[in-house]
Structure 1
Amino acid sequence: MSTPLLVINGPTASGKSALAVGVAQRLREQGRAAEIINADSMLVYRGMDIGTAKPSAAERGGVTHHLIDILDVTETASVADFQRLARDAVADCRARGVLPILVGGSALYVHAILDAFEFPGTDPAVRARLEADLDAAGAEALHQRLEALSPQAAAGILPGNGRRIVRALEVIELTGSWQPNLPQWQYALGDVLQYGLEIPRNELDARIDARVERMWADGLVAEVRNLAARGLRDGRTASRALGYRQVLAFLDGELSEDEARLRTASGTRRFARKQLGWFRRDPRITWLPASSEGLAEHLVGQLPH
């Protein structure tokens, strides 16, 4: 019997990480090995701990975690690279008879890992030129350029998302067109079991607000100040992470600290709803109430013996 891939999806602050650890620990009690593969695009960065709610060593409960702390904040995390690394980790676990548990914070990353998902090529020279244009003219000007070339692509990308705008312009320049629609739900990996955690919006919002308050109390501002000294502002992906972007604006005098905290909370609430919308489109996910008792035992019971 092949080793299945267990996938736990859900919005931020829904309890995915703790549930995954609980499943792995219960399997260990049965003499079965399991390891966790991160699918959150920001947990890959070393030093970005508080603002990403990265599970601490104690919270990992002795369970091996993959794809955490693998990049410096100045490096760029691409979906294509993450797809390759995550699929390699899944294959490695299965080769050792270990159950891989993919914990999905970033819906696009989960989709790319699980499904038949090919990426257009990239050209470093074209990318560098477009990123220079972004620095010189700003995201909104590039968004207008994108809208002139492909209204469909521009409609699906926020005017302030410089990284995605640059990528869309690069693909159009290299291929002559832009395909705005993601691939269909067609697994590229075998034996996938997908679950999602659902939680009432008011409860999720309260959890997010409490998490942001805790981040500030735990020293998020000091963490960002330290990372800024290590080049955070030069990181095109890391510097735009929720919380980090707002604290950088506070450190630069563009926001008050209260404004930075409130914008982090409101931005995270919007992001959580967007995440949930993405996951809800996947008809293969079985949804479970996040607050249910015995969720870890329930998931273990769904696995083949």
Structure 2
Amino acid sequence: MIYKIVQGNAFKLHILVRKMEMSKEFNRLVDFDMTQASDIKVELQCCFDDSIIVPTSIGGIEHNVLVCNIPSTLEIGNYNVAVSWTYEGYAMKSVERNILQIIETNQRVKVPVGVFQGETVGMFDLRYYMVTKNQSDCTFVYSLDDVTLSSTPATLKLGEKFEATLTPAEGFNIGLVKVIMDGADITRDAYKDGKIEIPAVSGYVSIMANGDDNIYYYGSTAAKNMCQFNIEDLTKVVGDMVDKSITITTTKDKPYIWFASRVPVVFTQSGFTANLNSTKVGDIYYYWSDELKAGEYTYNAKLK
């Protein structure tokens, strides 16, 4: 028995995951990036074979820590901790027996200092520890693809403010953004219009963001076919064009409407499919109208 916690207290159990590397010259344990694993699950198993799946997030600078949110609703008794995941097609599972005991009174509390060595799982090594709320530093981890962040501190003091701006790479829009703090998804509160702001950090923070290359262009031009077309004559859409209305004005000199997109799109007018010519060159889809009278034309775009 390792951890003895009074009933009614929620806490975080951290599981450090390392993998054995072996060669002719050395054997060593290295931090294992758990973002390479799938189907990650942490369960608490009690003596009656019941199990509780606990919310778990990936933390640590090297993405090598599983942060488990142990609920306050556990009944008195002993609990095993079962950790499982899939890596390169192989199922991994560790069961650390009687690692937790939920007790009635403070007199029997026991929370060991430092890291507890757990069961070895094949080539993997698991170690357990707890972090109290009075920790002075909060660790940040980042997973950024085709975007940059204006500020990427490794740590901030507990209670400090974090703010940063996301900038997509050339040719990309900002795609998926996810902000996790202390195992909870705070994206809705922390992210808006390319800016991430956390008024007071309170634990591990994981920021994931990627670029979306589904860029769209639209406009009216004098080009009646691809031979005459120049994409620089069009307006680049800031954000997404899908499920939105686009109004384009044609003139006597520019009687053709054009769209360009990296994904196939269907355009409608007044609920009917618009009659547009189309082709694909490279990875770009092009759509254009026949010659139109000068005026305003409204289209709605949907993914095909």
Sort the TM-score into its range (normalised by shorter chain): under 0.3
**Greater helix content:** 1
The structure that has the greater radius of gyration is: 2
Q: Greater share of strand residues, 1 or 2?
A: 2
Tell me the TM-score normalised to structure 2 length: 0.20
- Higher RCO (C-alpha 8 Å, min separation 6): 1
